[in-house]
Each structure stands twice: as C-alpha cells, then as structure tokens.
Chain A
Amino acid sequence: EGRVSALREWMGVMQHHDAVTGTEKQHVANDYALKLYKSVDKCRQVVAEGLNKLMVKQPQLWEGSPLVVDRLFCENLNVSACPVTESDDSLAVTIYNPMGRTVSHTVRLPVVNKVFTVLDPLGKSVSSTIVPIPAPVLAIPGRQSKARDELVFEAVVPPVGFATYFVRQNSPQSVPIEPIVRKIT
C-alpha cells in the first residue's frame, strides 16, 4: 500500500490543469518529473513481486536478490538505451500484457552484439533481426549507451498474463540475420 500510494497521489496532483497542459513553470515541471520517477520506481518493486508470484518458480531476478529491481526495468528504452540488454549475459525477457486478449508485440532491445538466438516460452527459436539505431538517436544528449543496433522480434503474450522469451548471445546455434542496409541515392 505504501509503495503504490505515492504514484496514486502524485497522479492526483497532476490532474491540475497546469500539469495536464504543460503551463506550469519549468521548475515545477522538473519537480513533477522527479516525483513521478520516484513514485513509479516504488511501483516497480510491486510489479516485480507480482511477476514473481505469477511465476511457478521464484527466479533470481537480478544479482541474486528477488527484490532488487533497479535494473530490472529499462527506463531509457525511449532513447534506445538499456544497460541490461547491452550486457553480454543471456536474458530472460518477461513481457506482461495487461490487455484482456492475446497481443503480438514487437520487442526492440538495444544491443551491442550482433549474434543472438531468441527462444519463445516453449523453447522454440523465434525469428529475429538486428536493425541499426538511427544516428540522430545515438547523439541524443544524455544518452549513455554503447548500443548501435536493436534486436527486434515479435512476442505473443497471452491476455492478462506474461510470456518469457530467452535472448542468448553468441550461442553456437545463433545465425545472425542482418538487414540489408543501403543509402538511397
């Protein structure tokens, strides 16, 4: 309750017309962003625990602790940056679908390597591709990332449930599917 209420209350504050329309002063906008970040962060712990409970077994989510969530979510995917997916480790990518029907979702993960195998929840290989991140995105101020490409694959996620896809880097079974990249002249 304590961890969820902060976001609920700050969302209430942000029903104020200045926050809705963007007519607040800049230092207020900065404060809104900070409060949202902090309250969303608290909710992530709840989401992580919720996912743990939904899973049959309790995996170690990150660095040995089921409650360490700081790096479980990537906050900079909007600038194609993510320290988790840019690491060399094999990852279990768990995708939660809040909709009441099955959805097909295009997953785009910033990556450093180019050779991957993506497996679906049944362990079957999934078609994936590597697509370059556009140069202007790489140059966005404040973006701290080594990723130059994105791994793209389609995930099918059941209604109000989750699916776990496995991303393995440089595995012997991996066959890189590189796109054709050419300048239009």
Chain B
Amino acid sequence: ASFSAKANSFDVMFDKTGQMTAIRLPGGQSVAVDQSFEYYRSLPGNNTAPQFRASGAYVFRPDGPSKPYNNTDSEAPTLVQSPGLTEIHRRVNEYISQVIRVAADIDYIELDYVCGPIPVLTDGVGKEIIIRFDTNLTTNGVLYTDSNGRQLLKRERNRRPTWDMTVTEAQSGNYYPINTRLAIRDERQGLQFTVLNDRAQGGASLTDGAVELMVHRRTLYDDRFGVNEPLNETGVDGQGLVIRGQLRLLLSSVEMAAEQHRELAQRWYMEPMVTFAKYGGTPEEYL
C-alpha cells in the first residue's frame, strides 16, 4: 500500500494511484479489496423468438461478460485529508467518477459515485454499468441478499433451492434484486463483507469473493414484455441521465456483521432530516 486511511474499526489501504487495495482489521487480519467499474453490453435480441428478447426494463440480458473500462483518463486522483476524514476523488472515465470516504469515527467506507450520461449513440450499443468488488474471501459460490425485504437470503451460484436448474445465461441467471444490502462470507476466516445501497439495484456474485451491483443502465431496444420503450431516459439536457448514488461497505466478523449492517441500514433509511432557518442576533438569543 502507498497510503492508508483510518476508520473507526479498520484501516483502508490504497495503492499509489488511489485505488483501494485492502482493508486491515485491528487484529492484523487483512482482506484484499479491489473495486472497479465495469459495463455490460446490452443484448439487442431480435424479439422474434420468446427466448431471444432484448435487455430492457423487464429483463437484464447482457451480451457476454462484463468489460472493464480502460483507464484512458489522464487526470490524477485527488487526495483530500482533513482531521479525521480522508477522501479520494477519482475520475474513472469521461462519464464515471467516484469519491471514497473514510472517517475516523465511523465503521464503514462510503463510496459516492456519479455516472452518466452513458454514451450509446456513437456505437449504437446499450450499456449497463456495474460497480464490482473483488476480494480474496473464499465464499464457495454463496451470496446473501435481502431480496424479500426482511431477512438475508442465501443464494447459491447456478443453483435454486427447489429445482434443478440449468443455467444458460451466466450473468442473468445469477442476478438478484438488492433492496438494501448484499453480503459475502468467508466461513473459514469468519469474515463478512457487506455492501449497503441507497436504492434498489440488481446484484450478483459471479465469481468467488466478488460482488457487483448494477448502478446505471441505458438500453436501446424494448424487451417486448409490455413497456414498449427501451430504457433510454434522456435527462434534462437530452444527453442522457446522470445519476449520483452511494454505497457503504462493511467488513466485520460474521458474528458482528448482522448487528452492524442492520443498525447501519436502519440509520440510513431513517436518516435525520435537515432544515434551515435564518437568524439574527446571537445563538443565545435564538436558543
């Protein structure tokens, strides 16, 4: 690591380009974490056969595995350090950027991202953007999601609990709705990596130790399931929608994980409301 930032219960290590590389727990235990943005090309389909529909509002169907972005942006990341707060501002490409925030008095890593407008006109290909975290945790194909809104459900890759499934689409067949969080566990090390999101998204664990969340989509073909429109919102300037969102990352022991992510999710959902008033005179008079 080139430098580190201190959170309340762990340290976050970064390489010399500002890329997160690992999280180190107080006992000296380290988990490698590589975070990246990638994209899927949306399958255009031909909509003639029922099983060859386009990726659209109802179905996510990529045209093959996700592709990494080539970092062609020469702008160097910015490191912002205040007492107790470290931020790394990073441009991934011309339409994706992120801030990683680590504060000394909180137990999670905050990832703030801005994505869009997704360029589709030059190549005529719809794109579906994901954030992926690759860790060195041994997860044995298991992912935990909160898909029913209450409990974390165990999802096994390429498997369903009540019937024998043959997976014909490696990505779509393993994507799940993620309302508030998803998690992976390394039972041997007793560690859990949990990602909380600020809005319902799709998510998966397509390889061991990795989780991904779909943060933005723009498709050019209707999937013929009824909406009769492609997912192609143009935004206020006609160029395409720009979105800003946040993820919060937790790494803790399996025993402590539920207490931490439930408390954090509830606190996030019921976030305090901030209101303003002008005042004249002194604060004492106002009080």
In the complex with contacts A23-B227, A152-B85, A79-B244 CB distance below 8 A? yes
A107 at the interface (CB under 8 A from B): yes
Q: Do A127 and B18 touch across chains, with their CB atoms under 8 A apart?
A: no
A155 to B284, CA, bound (A): 18
Interface of A is mostly: mixed
Q: Closest B-chain residue to A85, C-beta based?
A: B276
In the complex with contacts A97-B272, A182-B78, A136-B91 CB distance below 8 A? yes
Q: Which of B152-160, B168-176, B263-271 contacts A (4 or more CB under 8 A)?
A: B263-271
Residues of B contacting A131 in the complex (Cβ-Cβ under 8 angstroms): 80, 82, 85, 87
Q: Do A47 and B275 touch across chains, with their CB atoms under 8 A apart?
A: yes
Q: Do B273 and A96 touch across chains, with their CB atoms under 8 A apart?
A: yes
Q: Closest A-chain residue to B239, C-beta based?
A: A141
Instruction: Select which of B57, B81, B242, B278 is within 8 A of A179 by beta carbon.
Output: B81
A67 at the interface (CB under 8 A from B): no
Chain A residues within 8 Å of chain B by Cβ, number: 70
A157 at the interface (CB under 8 A from B): yes
B17 at the interface (CB under 8 A from A): yes
Q: Do A184 and B80 touch across chains, with their CB atoms under 8 A apart?
A: no
A47 to B85, CA, bound (A): 32
Q: Do A47 and B273 touch across chains, with their CB atoms under 8 A apart?
A: yes
A39 at the interface (CB under 8 A from B): no
A24 at the interface (CB under 8 A from B): yes
12 contacts between A and B (CB under 8 A): A23-B225, A72-B277, A90-B280, A93-B274, A94-B276, A95-B274, A96-B273, A129-B85, A134-B78, A142-B236, A184-B77, A184-B78
In addition to A59-B286, A78-B244, A94-B274, 7 A-B residue pairs with Cβ atoms within 8 Å of each other are A22-B231, A59-B279, A103-B267, A132-B78, A135-B89, A182-B79, A184-B79
Q: Which A residues have a C-beta under 8 Å from some C-beta of B?
A: 18, 21-26, 29, 47-48, 51, 59-63, 71-74, 77-79, 84-85, 89-99, 103-107, 119, 121, 123, 127, 129, 131-132, 134-137, 140-142, 152, 154-155, 157, 164, 166, 168, 177, 179-185
Q: Which B residues have a C-beta under 8 Å from some C-beta of A?
A: 16-18, 57-58, 76-85, 87-89, 91, 97, 99, 103, 105-106, 112, 114, 225-229, 231, 233, 235-237, 239, 242, 244, 266-267, 270-280, 283-284, 286-287
